[in-house]
A and B are shown apart, each in its own frame.
Chain A
Amino acid sequence: MALRLGEIRLRRYPLGPGMILMWVLGALGMGVSVYRWIFGLGATTNLSDGRPWGLWISFDMMSGIGLAAGAFSVAAIVYIFNLKKFYPIARPSILTGFISYILASLTLLVDLSQPQRIWHLIIYWNIHSPLFEIGWCVMLYLTVLALEFSPVVFDALHWKVPLKIIRAIQIPLIIAGVTLSTMHQSTLGTMLTILPDKIHPLFYSPLFPLYFYVTAIAAGLAMVVFESFHSSRTYGYPFEIKMLASLVKAIPWILGGYFVVRMAELVITGKYLYLLQGGAPAFMFIVEMIFGVLIPIFFFSDSNTRNDAHGITWAAVFTIAGLIINRVNAALIFMSGAFYLPTWQELAVTVGLTCLGFIMFDAAVRFLPMFPEPTPKAIKRL
C-alpha cells in the first residue's frame, strides 16, 4: 500500500542564507546543550549559589512563554469572540504559540539540574507551588495546542474522521486553552511574588500576576504581527496589514491600562521615591516604560503607523522587547544575588533554541499547507 501523505510534501520555497545561518546556530545550540547535559551546569554556566537563575529562566522561560500568548489571544478572538475576519492568522498564531511552548519545555530540560526527572511534576504534587501550577498548565496547554494545530495536519492528509472529532471539540479546546493560559501567564508573575526582599521595589509588585498576564497578551499580539512580517518577507506571503492593523488596535488599550495601574501603584505605595533616587533601577524602569510601553501605545494608536508595514512591525518589535526587558529586569537584573553575566555556552543555547523555533516554523510552512501555495511571482520577489 502506498503511503498517502496528501498535502504533506515539500513546498519549494527558496532557501536563503538567513535560514542556513539558523541551521548552523541551531546545531551549535543543540551541541552545547548536549555538552551541558554531560558535564553539568557548573562547567557551562555562570550560575552560582548566589545566582541560581540566569538567562535561561528570565529570557527563554519567562519571556518565551509570555511571547507565546498570541496563540490563545487570537484563538479567543476568532473562535470565542467570533471575529472571523481574523481567521487567516489563526493557524500561524497557534503554530507560533505551539513552537514557543516546545522551546520553553526544551529550555526547562536544559536548565533543570535533574532534567531526567521532569516527569516528577506529574507524580509529586505541591499545590502551594506556583511552579507546580505552571508545570501542569504548560503540559496541558502543549496538548491543547497540539490538538488545536492538528486540523492542519489532518486536513493535509485528508483524514476526515479525526478532523471531525477535533472540530467537534474545538470550542471546549479553545476555552481550555484560554483558561490554562490565563492561569499560567499570571502564575509566572505569582512565582516572583515570594521574593519581596530580593527584587528591587521598582520591579517587585503584589500585582505581578496581573502585570504578567496583561503584558503577555499585548506582546503576544505583537508577536503575531512580527510573525506575519517574517512570513511575508521569507515566503512572499502577502502582509495582511489591514487585518493586523485592526488586531493591534487593542494593544494601546491593554498597555494603557497596564501603564495607568503600574503608575498608580508607584504613587500609592510611595515607590516613586526610588525613581527620584536615580541609578540603574530608575534608569531601567524608565527605559522599560518608555520603549516597552509608551512607544508601542503611541505607535499603535497612530493610524498611519499602524497601517504602514514598517511602522506596525517596529511597534511590534518595541512591544516584544518591552516584555523581555520587563521579565529580565524582575527575574535577573534587579533580583539581588551574585554578579552574573551569561557564558558563551548559555548564549549559544538561547540563540540556538530561538533559531530552532524559526527552523520548526520553516519546516511547517514547507511541509504543511500553512499558507497558499508559493506562486512564481512570490518566489521572484525574494
Chain B
Amino acid sequence: MPINRRDFLKATGAGLGALALSAAPVKTASAKQNTDETGSMLYDSTICVGCRACQTACKLRAGLDPVVDSTGLYEMPHDLDSKTWTIIKLYKDDTSHSFVKNQCMHCIHPACVSVCPVGALEKLDSGPVIYHKERCIGCRYCMAACPFSVPKTEWEKPLPLIQKCDFCADRQANGEQPKCSEACPTGALIYGTRKAMLDTARVRLVGEGNYIQHIYGEKEAGGTSMLYISDLDFTKLGFPEQNDVSLPDITWPYMQGTLGVIGVMVTLSTAIYLRTHRKDKNGGNGNGSNGHNGDNGNNGGSNTPKGKEA
C-alpha cells in the first residue's frame, strides 16, 4: 500500500495523538507474541479419507442439532452454519480430488475479537478464540470482518446468537485434545503445539508426496492456529487468498488516532471560538460581528477544510 497509514495519520494531524500515545503502554488485541506453545491443529488433505468422524464428534460435543429434512432424515449441510461448527468438503475436478476440513481458524490476531464492540469474542493465550454469548448484542460485525467468513448466526431464531468452533477450549484447558482431532482415525487431523505442528508440516512437505510447498495458516491473516498442507492449490480447496497482514493492526492505528482527533478538534474549535469572538468585544454587539462577516467568511473558508482533515 503506497499510502502508508502512519503517514496518513501524521499528515492529517492525528499524529499528535500518536505522539501522546507513544508514551502510554499499548495493549494489543492479539495474543502474546510467542505462539509456539499455543494449541494448534494440522490438517493434511492428502491423508483425509472424508469419513466425517470429526464432524460427528463435533456435533455431539457441542450439542448442535443435526439438520434434518422434512421427513426427519439427516442431510449434509453445504457449508458451515449455526449448527455446523466444522465440515468436511470434497473438491473434485477432472484429474484430482481432495477433501478439506473447515472450521474457525483461531487466528493469532483475530479480526472478530478486535471488532466486537462488547468484547463478546476473546482470544485465549492458549490459542482458542471463544465466544461469550451472554455479552453479544448481535451486530454481526464479526461475521463481516472475519477473513474466512467463519462466524455464523441463528437466523431462524427471534434472538439469534453467533455460532462458531471454540477449539474445545474447555477440553484443552484440561489437557485434552479437541474432539475432532481425537476422532480422526487416519491422522489427517492432529493436535499439538503450534511449533510442533509447523515442524511436522515442514517435515512432510520435503518428504514423499506432491505437496504444494506452502503451509496455509502459517502466515495468512497474520497466522492462524489451524494449519493446512495439501497437494492441491489452496484456492481450489476454497481458501481465500490472504495478504499476510494482521487485520486488527489495520484499524488499531486509527483507533489510537481518536485521541489525537479529540485533542485537535477541541483545541482547534476553542481557538477559533476565541479568535472569532474577540471581535465581539471590540464591536460591542451583534451588529459589530455582522460587519465583519466578510472577514469571518474568509476565515471560515480557510479554517473549515483544516478542521476536516483532522
Q: Which A positions have Cβ atoms within 8 angstroms of B?
A: 37-43, 47-50, 52-53, 76-77, 79-85, 111-118, 120-121, 124-133, 135, 171, 174-175, 178-179, 182-183, 186-187, 190-191, 193-198, 206-207, 209-210, 213-214, 217, 246, 249-250, 253-254, 257, 265, 268-269, 335, 337
List the B residue with the shortest CB-CB distance to A268. B2
A-B contact pairs, 7 of them (CB 8 A): A40-B157, A52-B140, A77-B304, A83-B293, A113-B140, A117-B136, A257-B308
Cβ of B156 under 8 Å from chain A: yes
Q: Smallest CB–CB gap between A199 and chain B, Å?
A: 10
Which residues in A have their C-beta under 8 angstroms from that of B139?
Answer: 111-113, 131
- Are A49 and B138 in contact, CB atoms less than 8 angstroms apart? no
**Can you list the 4 inter-chain pairs with the closest CB atoms, starting with the nearest?**
A113-B138, A42-B155, A82-B276, A52-B143
List the A residue with the shortest CB-CB distance to B142. A52
- Are B301 and A250 in contact, CB atoms less than 8 angstroms apart? yes
List 9 additional contacts besides A195-B145, A254-B308, A269-B1; criterion CB under 8 Å. A80-B269, A81-B304, A112-B137, A112-B138, A124-B117, A132-B118, A179-B262, A196-B247, A210-B12
Partner of A39, one of B158, B290, B303: B158
A118 to B159, CA, bound (A): 13
Q: Smallest CB–CB gap between B178 and chain A, Å?
A: 23
Partner of B297, one of A83, A128, A179, A207: A83
Binary flags per residue of B134-154, CB closer than 8 Å to A gives 1, else 0: 011111110111010100111
Which residues in B have their C-beta under 8 angstroms from that of A213?
Answer: 308
Which residues in B have their C-beta under 8 angstroms from that of A117?
Answer: 136-138
Which residues in A have their C-beta under 8 angstroms from that of B242?
Answer: 197
| Known contacts A83-B297, A130-B254, A187-B254; A125 and B119 CB within 8 A of each other | yes
Cβ of B213 under 8 Å from chain A: no
A373 to B80, CA, bound (A): 62
Partner of B276, one of A37, A80, A249, A265: A80
A268 to B3, CA, bound (A): 8
Cβ of B251 under 8 Å from chain A: yes
Which residues in B have their C-beta under 8 angstroms from that of A41?
Answer: 155, 160
Q: Smallest CB–CB gap between B81 and chain A, Å?
A: 6
Cβ of B29 under 8 Å from chain A: yes
* B245-300, CB < 8 A from A: 245, 247-248, 250-252, 254-255, 258, 261-262, 265-266, 269-270, 272-273, 276-277, 279-280, 286, 289-290, 293, 296-297, 299-300
Which residues in A have their C-beta under 8 angstroms from that of B118?
Answer: 120-121, 124-126, 132
Q: Smallest CB–CB gap between A36 and chain B, Å?
A: 9
A37 to B2, CA, bound (A): 46
A257 to B115, CA, bound (A): 30
List the A residue with the shortest CB-CB distance to B9. A209
A85 to B291, CA, bound (A): 10
- Are A209 and B29 in contact, CB atoms less than 8 angstroms apart? no
Cβ of B238 under 8 Å from chain A: no
Partner of B140, one of A53, A197, A257: A53
- Are B293 and A124 in contact, CB atoms less than 8 angstroms apart? no
Cβ of B310 under 8 Å from chain A: yes
Which residues in B have their C-beta under 8 angstroms from that of A195?
Answer: 144-145
A217 to B303, CA, bound (A): 14
Binary flags per residue of B51-76, CB closer than 8 Å to A gives 1, else 0: 00000000000000000000000000
